[in-house]
Structure 1
Amino acid sequence: MSTFTEPAIYWAGLAPALVILGAAVLGVLVEAFVPRRARLAVQTVLAVAAVMGAFVLLAGQWALVSGQRLAGEMAHGFDLDPFGVAAQGVILVIGLLAVLAMADRTSAGDGAFAAQAADRPGRAEEAESLHAGWMGTEALPLTMFSLGGMMLFPLASNLISLFVMLELVSLPLYIMAAMARHRRLLSQEAALKYFVLGAFSSAFLLLGAALLYGATGSVDYTEVAQVVVLTRGVGASWILPAGLLLLLVGLLFKIAAAPFHAWSPDVYQGSPTPVTGFMAAGVKATAFLALVRVLGVLGVAGGADLVPVLSAIALLTMLVGTVVGIVQRDVKRMLAYSAIAHAGYMLIALTCLNTMSLSALLLYSLAYGASTVGVFGVISLVRVSHVGAAGPEATDLDSYRGLARRAPWLAAAMTVFMLSFAGIPLTAGFVAKYELFLAAALGGGVWLVVAAVVSSAATAFFYTRLIVLMYFREPEDEQVVVVGSRGPVAAAVAVAVTLTLVVGVLPQPLLALLDSAAMLTP
């Protein structure tokens, strides 16, 4: 007679992510049973309440792990430690801002999402849905599913959980990328590109995991690392490095590191603007934080062979993001290449993993993530004017001429975010870059830091160009209209601005917190 061994699961450790995923399931039921006119309000309250509840539970976890009273495996495939709890906190901040940005229904009476995603662009059924004033609200439960995956992704400690969480993060985004209210065909093209290239990246990750399992007989990071150390120099020595490199390719695709970045500008441009912000901030943060655990266990076991590879990729990523970003005339594409350059900076921290670099990477993820969601929130309110009526987002750079006269508070918020991206003092971006570059320099990556400083100085050109257009150029025509937020986007932008400035002016409390969080269990 067969026996069943009950798995040991620490449910309290999984509780924050389970609250988010539970809200996602409830959101699906809301779509099925709540009347259409009430869905947006119900979905928004449910999502915000779930994120805030997850924050409360996470604070309780931090009180335990920071005192080293609780650490280790909370379920098979997921580890609980100070770094994991801090990573979840960063993801929740990004998720809260993203939910607020997606929930807004502007003064123009529209939102970022199609009235019904299934309507064919340009056909009668789409016109009827728009005339009825509908707005697709299924994006919010999809966001919660993806957010739940993002929270568990950095905690994954075996190859199976890593792949499952990668798909949980990605699959909702493939759908959401096709749901733009305006420029529907461009949105659907972006979703198709993201889906096809995302499938390729998943295939690479799976093949890498299969090679590692075939060579070691285990999918657990720690057990794979032990086998690597014990069998070094014995048998087919190419299988383990090949498996690890293929695993990295799948993760590097998610952070849009060169040469795996080709999907990024098109997807950023075509996706609904709040989804672009969530994708740019959340996916990048969770993928980097998951890479920390992969490289911290498997990379260390494999020796220092990955450092030259990561250094070369970081250098190429900075080069592509900087050079191509300078010539962009579309704001969303410019920010896509900006994100590529920032991925290059963050990769530097992975070449010298230590307590200081882990702390810097957490801070960079938070600072960059908040500013990114905020800047795309601003973009969602600047629209093309059709005989005075608001149309799609005005993403051409010239559309921002004289924005400070049309909407002073929006221009001020955009300026704060641009200065933070550029790493100007008194912003969170400056503190994050300083900490990250210092950690890399002390870890022996001085030449990479020099390259990053040069790249950062060059990228400041396209950030300051936008500021100059907003404040020192007259608007050329009346083809642009600024719509008002009915609350959620304004709240998201305000919180992002406050966080960017407070961390920039008073960084020490957050730095002390992240220093104590930069610790992985063996």
Structure 2
Amino acid sequence: MLDAFSLIVVSPEILLLVMACVIALVDLGVTSRLRGLTYWLTMGTLAAVAFFCADFAATGNTLYAFNKMVVSDPMGNWLKCFATIALMVTLVYGRPYAADRDMLRGGEFFTLSLFSLLGMFVMISASNFLLIYVGLELMTLCSYALVALRRDNEVATEAAMKYFVLGAMASGFLLYGISMLYGATGSLDINEVFRVIASGRVKHQVLVFGLVFIVAGLAFKLGAAPFHMWIPDVYQGAPTAVTLMIGSAPELAAFGIAIRLLVEGMIPLAPDWQQMLVVLAVASLLVGNLAAIAQTNLKRMLAYSTIAQMGFVVLGLAAGVVGGNTNNAQYAYSASMFYIITYVLTTLAAFGIILLLAREGFESDEITDLAGLNQRSPLYAAIMAVCMFSLAGVPPLVGFYGKLTVLQALVATNEATSIGLAIFAVVMSLVGAFYYLRVVKVMYFDSPITATTVSAPADVRAVLSINGLLVLVLGIVPGGLMTLCADAIVKTLAT
């Protein structure tokens, strides 16, 4: 039912949709190489949307709209806010790169980004299976087009085809699992599905069968092994600006739908899906860290790094329910939320450096391309080093605190299996430190290939410096963001 209250609840989505259409029309008259007017309209729109989402989140209210198909709660609004900020940062870093590679002949780079973000918003705010799928398809279809935006580039076109085929398969898994649950429970409403499952009226085997396909679909979107096959090829083949777009904000949306589906909809089945998540986490940590060691391409190495990092996020999700008791849920899920937010923050800075160096006329996506960066630009070398140390989990950077919170959530279960998983995760982190430190070694101890200094536009330099500083500062004083995550999870689970 369409009413004024429902429209207010989805006002960020409405603003995003209207402005995406307006920007697409306005761009028809823009002729500048950097699409200046389109860019600033896009940034203004994203700033306004981020403000509205933060304002909604700060109230702490949980509101339902459109016959309970849409939910506006603190967790969802904060995820939408951070996803919007991540897209803003991506566009700042990516615009010069895109212009140099003739990707800004039209405004598609900006409008597709906005529509992709709208898909993420729909996913995060959905309280209905069908709406989750609609949001997922909107986001992924825009992503396919963005990967193929360099139409004259064979590698990008190949990456888009792989992404499309594997993405369609993953969407099919998710849709089939959702259809199984709908058939078993008779409802597409997540809260109603929870009530039916909790009542015990449905055969457990039927629910678990649907659950397997849902977890497989979610694992693909998160990039967890063994559903990770698309990540290395797409990360390497896509234009670097698009790689950053795919590897940042969508991860927040994937976390959002994991909470909606598994926790809000199917927490009575936690003993089943947690076992599946444990397998995914172990496989992700093993495959991601071991495969990354062999990589010479920086983007491909960061792709396998992403798979390993998602292992930690999945471990947090797998530690929420202990023996049917949900006392540990708020700590485990808030640890995962904190981890994925800080991972996205670090990834933005790391790819920002790659984009900056790529502006010299080559892609700069090999590890050797960073040789002697400290001699050419100490600031950018320091930012990249901070990112690598953070991803490796070196204190006092934010990556260390993210890993620590997830490990604490595992140990707090007091179960031998969870403690064993924590030890395994620490060992895999030590293995992973090798390939992160190798990048630092190349930047500081190898001779530079070129003597040219690295220059950047003022906006890129400012945002990159703030981005790198936040990775350091949030590691030293993580309390504010951790409290925000914990508060958001508590209020969301309370409804």
TM-score (norm 1): 0.87
Distance 1:376 1:98 in 2: 9
Q: Which amino acid aligns with 1:81?
A: D
Are positions 1:446 and 2:437 aligned together? no
Tell me by how many angstroms 1:317 deviates. Answer: 0.8
Gaps of 5+ in 2: 321-328
Residue among 374, 378, 381 paired with 1:408: 378
Match of 1:129 in 2: none
Distance 1:39 1:414 in 2: 26
Contact 2:392/2:436 (8 A) holds in 1: yes
Query: Which range moved further: 290-299 or 212-221?
Result: 290-299
Tell me by how many angstroms 1:381 deviates. Answer: 2.3
Contact 2:53/2:77 (8 A) holds in 1: yes
Deviations 1:19-53 (A, max 9, x none): 22332222211233x23227711121112111211
Deviations 1:85-116 (A, max 9, x none): 222222122122112122236xxxx636534x
Are positions 1:511 and 2:478 aligned together? no
Tell me by how many angstroms 1:500 deviates. Answer: 0.9
Match of 2:326 in 1: none
- Is the partner of 1:336 in helix, strand or coil? helix
Residue among 128, 132, 137 paired with 1:162: 132
Q: 1:399-438 maps to which residues of 2 (within 5 A)? A: 399-438=369-408
Q: Which amino acid aligns with 1:499?
A: L
Are positions 1:63 and 2:58 aligned together? yes
Distance 1:162 1:78 in 2: 10
Are positions 1:18 and 2:26 aligned together? no
Match of 1:111 in 2: 99
Match of 2:333 in 1: 358
Contact 2:50/2:80 (8 A) holds in 1: no
Distance 1:316 1:186 in 2: 28
Q: 1:171 to 1:268 in 2, by over 3 A?
A: same
Contact 1:190/1:270 (8 A) holds in 2: yes
Contact 1:404/1:411 (8 A) holds in 2: yes
Match of 1:374 in 2: 349
Q: Which amino acid aligns with 2:25?
A: L
Match of 2:44 in 1: 49
Distance 2:167 2:54 in 1: 34
Contact 2:51/2:81 (8 A) holds in 1: no
Match of 2:182 in 1: 213
Tell me by how many angstroms 1:137 deviates. Answer: 3.3
Q: Which amino acid aligns with 1:37?
A: S
Deviations 1:257-313 (A, max 9, x none): 111101110100011112111211112221022201211133312241122111011
Deviations 1:392-442 (A, max 9, x none): 312222221111112222211111111111111121111211112212221
Are positions 1:484 and 2:480 aligned together? no
Distance 1:464 1:6 in 2: 55
Q: 1:46 to 1:302 in 2, by over 3 A?
A: same
Distance 2:290 2:49 in 1: 40
Q: 1:18-417 maps to which residues of 2 (within 5 A)? A: 18-32=14-28, 34-37=29-32, 40-65=35-60, 70-75=61-66, 76-104=68-96, 111=99, 113-115=101-103, 135-180=105-150, 184-232=153-201, 237-353=204-320, 354-383=329-358, 390-417=360-387
Distance 1:113 1:496 in 2: 25
Contact 1:378/1:414 (8 A) holds in 2: yes
Distance 1:79 1:201 in 2: 25
Contact 2:180/2:207 (8 A) holds in 1: yes
- Is the partner of 2:187 in helix, strand or coil? coil
Distance 1:315 1:112 in 2: 41
- Is the partner of 1:381 in helix, strand or coil? helix
Q: Which amino acid aligns with 1:355?
A: Q
Contact 2:34/2:99 (8 A) holds in 1: no
| Runs of 4+ with >4 A deviation | 5-9, 480-483
Contact 2:235/2:303 (8 A) holds in 1: yes
Distance 1:160 1:88 in 2: 19
Q: Which amino acid aligns with 1:102?
A: G
- Is the partner of 1:394 in helix, strand or coil? coil
Contact 1:205/1:251 (8 A) holds in 2: yes
Tell me by how many angstroms 1:9 deviates. Answer: 4.7
Match of 2:440 in 1: 467
Q: How many residues align?
A: 481
Deviations 1:442-500 (A, max 9, x none): 1342222111111111111111100011001112x44x866532234323322311221
Distance 1:383 1:310 in 2: 37
Q: 1:440 to 1:299 in 2, by over 3 A?
A: farther
- Is the partner of 2:21 in helix, strand or coil? helix
Contact 1:113/1:136 (8 A) holds in 2: no
- Is the partner of 2:64 in helix, strand or coil? strand
Match of 1:124 in 2: none
Q: Which amino acid aligns with 2:81?
A: G
Tell me by how many angstroms 1:223 deviates. Answer: 1.2
Contact 2:58/2:74 (8 A) holds in 1: no
Distance 1:218 1:112 in 2: 50
Q: 1:267 to 1:369 in 2, by over 3 A?
A: same
Contact 2:374/2:444 (8 A) holds in 1: yes
Gaps of 5+ in 1: 116-133, 385-389
Distance 2:142 2:153 in 1: 18
Q: Which amino acid aligns with 1:271?
A: A
Q: Which amino acid aligns with 1:15?
A: S
TM-score (norm 2): 0.92
Deviations 1:302-353 (A, max 9, x none): 2411221110111011100010001100000000000000011110011123
- Is the partner of 2:15 in helix, strand or coil? helix
Q: 1:359 to 1:231 in 2, by over 3 A?
A: closer
Distance 1:60 1:283 in 2: 22
- Is the partner of 1:261 in helix, strand or coil? coil
Tell me by how many angstroms 1:154 deviates. Answer: 2.2
Match of 1:125 in 2: none
